[in-house]
């Protein structure tokens, strides 16, 4: 689907409840499927990625019942496989576009004596899986992949031994896969990472009855340990909120409020960066929901933004927001530098190449090399034809650019937004209509 967008003639005004967090929704579905008993989940993101996790656990023997479809998300009752373990699936399990589904499932399946094949779409089939299969092999799991380290991947699980890992890359998907495998390994498995990646797994496992020992940069689980059913409410997704925050900062006169967003510190590096840039963003802390700090974000048009440097250390806390921050940086005075962003090359697309090319096509000044990105601010953007490459976050970042670029911006394959934020275009329209809830 091609999406056409012009500079917003009106400020963005009002309140939008952005959908449930994608990372938390995946984990709620997967952990509930592993647990003994029936878990009740609310606010679950209704999107293609989370549907991949739901279909996968059903193929593995969990029962997923839709209780209600509410504006805040899906209410589900999930009956897990518990002590019986997952059943051997009849055919390959299609993880679609979802890196979180495939990587966490590889860890979950590693400890059970069944064979399963995990596949995905074209994008997922290009993404590196050895980062998960190599450490899981050390624990005793076996994998078969035709083309080296990409899907389709066969997993033959069984008895695991505990291990200690120093991950070369900060990745919550890898860390989570290893901690989930560790549940079935007798003894303590420890996972350390170079800088803190999102910690939803560590925060949610205790609710399912699994103690997680946490030190700075390391998490340990002692197995064997079983999950028992839990009730989980999913907070709104800061990564989805980021696009509306960015839009509000750039469109003159805007004033946008986003309530109930996860303010997990491992996720809101983008808010810290925007504060450094002088953005008018206000955060009001709210209640903790299922171990996740939450609160409200209010973003207002910010006429004067200044460039900043994003260090490699803080990248994991804003890894999914780099495309959006790069667009915001086009409006800042000076050159914004992103260091240590090479991981963007192995996301749903090569986001580093794509965002720098798109910004240059729009008339901005971007330079990317293997691991860094520099955006020279102050070049006015001109609408043009862009391709999302089937990448949801690029599609939404380009739409934010289209709100301020002169003329018309066309975004090809815009349906990619269904992966994480199906209502994105509708929510933008709501804000343009200035509707306050």
Does 197 sit near ligand S3P (CB under 6 A)? yes
Bridge-partner residues for 41, per DSSP?
A: 76, 232
| Smallest gap from residue 168 Cβ to ligand S3P (A) | 12
Does 315 bind ligand S3P (CB under 6 A)? Our answer is no
Q: Which is nearer to ligand S3P, 78 or 344 (CB)?
A: 344
Q: How many Å apart are CA 394 and CA 194, to the nearest integer?
A: 27
Smallest distance, ligand S3P to C-beta of residue 104, A:
8
Backbone angles phi, psi at 72, to 5 degrees: -80, -10
Beta strands at 187-192 and 164-166: parallel, antiparallel or unpaired:
parallel
420: closest CA among 381, 383, 392, 380? 392
DSSP 382: B
Should residue 171 be labelled a site residue for ligand S3P when binding is judged by CB under 6 A?
yes
Find, among 201, 141, 150, the residue nearest to 175 by Cα: 201
- What is the longest distance spanned by two Cα atoms in the chain? 62
Q: How far is the CB of 232 from ligand S3P (least distance, A)?
A: 15
* 240 touching ligand S3P, by CB under 6 A: no
For residue 319, state whether it binds ligand S3P (rule: CB under 6 A): yes
**Interface with ligand S3P includes 23 (CB under 6 A)?**
yes
Tokens of 6: 């012009």
Q: How far is the CB of 272 from ligand S3P (least distance, A)?
A: 17
Instruction: Out of 17, 51, 184, 198, name the contact with ligand S3P by CB under 6 A.
Output: 198
Q: Which two tokens stand for residue 304?
A: 């004067």
CA distance 242 to 269: 11
Q: Which one of 5-13, 67-75, 79-87, 168-176 is the stretch in contact with ligand S3P (CB under 6 A)?
A: 168-176
CB burial readout 4-27, b (16+ within 10 A) else e: ebebbeebbbbbbbbbbbbbbbbb
CA dihedral 176, 177, 181, 182 (to 10 degrees): -30
Contact 411, 323 (CB under 8 A): no
Catalytic residue among 21, 280, 320, 387: 320
> Is residue 94 flagged as an active site residue?
no
Backbone angles phi, psi at 138, to 5 degrees: -60, -30
**Segment near ligand S3P (CB under 6 A); pick from 169-177, 187-195, 333-341, 377-385:** 169-177
Among 292, 320, 321, 418, binds ligand S3P (CB under 6 A): 320
Report how many residues bind ligand S3P under the rule CB under 6 A. Answer: 11
Using rule CB under 6 A, residue 172 touches ligand S3P: yes
Q: Which of 100, 189, 222, 430 binds ligand S3P (CB under 6 A)?
A: 100
**Active-site positions?**
320
What are the residues binding ligand S3P (CB under 6 A)? 23, 26, 100, 171-173, 176, 197-198, 319-320
């Amino acid at each position: 689907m091609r999406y056409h967008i012009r500079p917003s003639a009106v400020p963005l005004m009002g309140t939008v409840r952005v959908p449930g967090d994608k990372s938390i929704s995946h984990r709620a579905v997967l952990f509930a499927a592993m647990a003994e008993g029936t878990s009740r989940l609310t606010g679950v993101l209704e999107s293609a990625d989370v549907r991949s996790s739901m279909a996968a656990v059903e193929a593995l023997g969990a029962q997923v019942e839709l209780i209600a479809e509410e504006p805040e998300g899906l209410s589900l009752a999930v009956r897990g496989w518990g002590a019986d373990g997952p059943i051997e699936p009849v055919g390959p399990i299609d993880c679609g576009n979802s890196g979180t589904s495939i990587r966490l499932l590889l860890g979950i399946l590693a400890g059970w004596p069944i064979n399963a094949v995990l596949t995905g779409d074209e994008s997922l089939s290009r993404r590196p899986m050895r980062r998960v299969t190599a450490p899981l092999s050390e624990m005793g799991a076996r994998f078969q992949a035709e083309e080296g380290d990409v899907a389709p991947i066969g997993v033959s699980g069984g008895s695991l031994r505990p291990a200690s890992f120093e991950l070369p890359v900060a990745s919550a998907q890898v860390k989570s896969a290893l901690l989930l495998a560790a549940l079935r390994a007798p003894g303590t498995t420890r996972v350390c990472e170079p800088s803190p990646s999102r910690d939803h797994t560590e925060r949610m496992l205790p609710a399912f009855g699994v103690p997680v020992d946490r030190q700075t940069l390391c998490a340990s689980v002692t197995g064997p340990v079983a999950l028992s059913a839990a009730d989980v409410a999913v907070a709104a997704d800061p990564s989805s909120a980021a696009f509306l925050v960015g839009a509000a900062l750039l469109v003159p006169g805007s004033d946008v409020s986003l309530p109930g967003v996860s303010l997990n510190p491992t996720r809101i590096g983008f808010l810290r960066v925007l504060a450094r840039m002088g953005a008018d963003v206000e955060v009001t802390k709210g209640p903790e929901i299922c171990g996740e700090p939450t609160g409200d974000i209010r973003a207002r048009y910010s006429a004067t933004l200044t460039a900043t440097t994003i260090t490699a250390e803080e990248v994991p806390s804003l890894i999914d927001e780099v495309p959006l921050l790069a667009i915001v940086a086009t409006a800042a005075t000076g050159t914004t530098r992103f260091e240590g962003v090479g991981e963007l090359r192995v996301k749903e697309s090569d986001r580093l190449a794509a965002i720098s090319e798109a910004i240059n096509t729009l008339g901005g000044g971007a330079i990317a090399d293997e691991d860094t990105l520099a955006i020279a601010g102050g070049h006015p953007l001109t609408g043009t034809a862009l391709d999302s490459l089937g990448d949801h976050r690029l599609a939404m970042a380009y739409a934010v650019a289209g709100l301020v670029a002169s003329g018309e911006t066309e975004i090809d394959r815009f349906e990619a937004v269904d992966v994480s934020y199906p209502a994105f275009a509708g929510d933008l329209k709501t804000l343009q209509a200035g509707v306050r809830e």
